[in-house]
Chains A and B, each alone.
Chain A
Amino acid sequence: MSGLALAAVFFAGAGLAPLVVRDAFFLDSLVLILIWGTCAAAWNVAGGYAGQISLGHSAFFGLGAYAAALLTTRWALSPWLGLAVGALVATAIGLVIGYLSNRLRGPYFVLATIAFSQVLLIVGSRWRAVTAGSEGIPVPFRPGFWTLGIADKRVWVWIVLGLAVLAYLVGLYLERARRGYQLMAVREDEDAALSLGVPARRLKVAAICVSAAFTAACGALWAQYVGFVDPFYVFSVDLSVRFALATIIGGLGTALGPFLGAALVTTVETYLRAQFGGIGAGLVGIYLIIYGCALIVMVRWLPQGLVGWIAERVRRRAVPGAAS
């Protein structure tokens, strides 16, 4: 119950904040927190509930970003259509990857996903006839809701919030529904799940597809919001690690965790960019160090993530004297 209340506070706060705060820097951070939170929540469907740890999810993000950018620049179609196409293509590719990697477990699955995103990086940066190659694609700004040419960042907050809430509801559904229990069984022990009649192979593929579709939708929105698609960014392992890290910090296999994790990671990142802005290229290195340290701290002291930590506090307060 406390989880639902916390989620209500989080999403209502994000939705209402633009009415009060007009600061562009704050609104920009909020949009990014919601985008990365949704990506993390999408990653959580495959990685957190089904235990299919992927470090190649940037592949789906990049597919979404490219679908939206190419449809708008080459055929002058709506980026909303690009979002739908990106999500569909990502689902189809998720289906293929899901089947191909179905028998791979643990580290082998992780390696396969990294390889896949790197293949797409090469395609994106070399197939100049279609993607404009390594220069990337500037997305033209055409004012209007249908063309997603929106200058008002408040509107962006609300658009992205819609997708974020949808992704949260998927997580909430999995926490309660039959399919959620079955996915968790697959995560814990696939053979034991099979022996109990859980259609593990099919469920794993389905989880990857749902995860891919949401990630691609985020990629499409992100491309329109930022206005530029760079293959080395959208297909990077860094991005995949970000999705995984936000989820692990927030709480694997929890509906709200990925959003809390993304809020923390994005805030820290923004703060560091302000502090070390002058270093430029050196920033990348600082990031990896901080990511690594955060991961060690979380896994060592808070394996249940932020959500688990908060739940523990609430429980202790509810039962006085239970603190040890």
Chain B
Amino acid sequence: MSLLSVSGLSKRFGGVVANRNVSFDVAPGELVGIIGPNGAGKSTLFEIITGFYHPDEGEVRLDGARLTGLSPDVVCRRGVARTFQKLRPFQALTVLDNVMVGALTRTKDVAHARERARELVRKVGLADKVDAHARTLSTGQRKRLELARALATEPRVLLLDEVTGGVDQRTIPELVRLVRDLHAGGLTLLVIEHNMRVITAVAQRILALHLGEVIADGAPDVVARDRRVVEAYLGQAYLP
């Protein structure tokens, strides 16, 4: 029984094929990593799942109900939340207010939303920054903020676009621990990640994309040794 089901997705931008016949299923509680070189179509896939792009072909279903064709805000209310590769905090708002916007999608009560937001800010380790304006945060802190904000919408599936990208080395372990905790708490996650060490450490299963197509789908150690994956990442010269 799958929670998120992607079938036959294709997306073209003029002559460029961003996604070609992409299909996969995600079971409840699974953490699936998505890898692929730049331009492989990973972010486009996220944009389609969350309703920001409409696919040329194929569809996305959540728990059997069709998501394709819905607008992004409705997709979120159905239970799919995301973070952005290029971070997009609400700069002029405080950390707490940022997270409250997410919480207010699930409750009409502002005081209740504030409590929920406070909990989540603590959970992602930003308690000492709760009243700081988002624009004053470092990249690592912004990543946490986006995570808290997305979690506040109480997603059934969370899509993370680059957890460790642009973050300094020392903060990576904390972010990884955070993602692991969320997974351990029963959340279903789809994670785009460039850092192979990170993704093989957290994911149960990895999906490799190349030129818009799925070229491998399976356990991390199997995918990492897959002939086509190595070729896509490093070039033919590195093949044994």
Contacts and interface: CB of A to CB of B under 8 A. Distances in A.
Interface in B86-137: 88-93, 97, 100-102, 104-105, 108, 110, 113
A318 interface: no
B81 A196 contact: yes
Given A189-B88, A196-B153, A197-B153, 11 more contacts: A176-B110, A178-B108, A184-B92, A185-B90, A192-B89, A193-B73, A193-B101, A194-B76, A195-B82, A196-B105, A196-B152
A200 B73 contact: yes
A181 B149 CA distance: 13
17 contacts: A178-B110, A181-B100, A181-B104, A184-B101, A188-B93, A192-B84, A192-B88, A193-B73, A194-B76, A195-B52, A195-B150, A196-B76, A196-B150, A196-B153, A197-B76, A197-B105, A197-B153
Given A181-B100, A182-B101, A195 B90 contact: no
State the majority secondary structure of interface residues on A: helix
A110 B84 CA distance: 27
A312 interface: no
A19 interface: no
B77 interface: yes
Given A176-B110, A181-B110, A196 B101 contact: yes
Contacts of B149: 196
A185 B103 CA distance: 12
B81 A195 contact: yes
Contacts of A188: 90-93
A222 to B, nearest CB: 33
B50 interface: yes
A44 to B, nearest CB: 15
A208 B171 CA distance: 43
Contacts of B108: 178
A197 B52 CA distance: 12
A198 interface: yes
A189 to B, nearest CB: 5
B interface, size bucket = 20 to 34
Contacts of A178: 104, 108, 110, 113
A188 B101 CA distance: 12
A186 to B, nearest CB: 9
Interface in A166-180: 176-178
Interface of B: 50, 52, 71-73, 76-77, 81-82, 84, 88-93, 97, 100-102, 104-105, 108, 110, 113, 149-150, 152-153
A198 B77 CA distance: 9
Contact of A198 (B50, B91, B105): B105
A176 B88 CA distance: 23
- Closest 10 A-B residue pairs measured CB to CB? A197-B105, A188-B90, A197-B76, A194-B72, A192-B88, A185-B101, A196-B102, A197-B77, A178-B104, A189-B88
Contacts of B52: 191, 194-195
Interface string A256-298: 0000000000000000000000000000000000000000000
Contacts of A194: 52, 71-73, 76
Contacts of B97: 181, 184
A199 interface: yes
A252 to B, nearest CB: 10
Point out which of A189, A191, A194, A201 has the most chain B C-beta atoms below 10 A from its C-beta. Answer: A194
Interface string A187-217: 0110111111111110000000000000000
Nearest to A180: B110
A199 B92 contact: no
Given A176-B110, A177-B110, A198 B101 contact: yes
Contact of A182 (B50, B72, B77, B104): B104
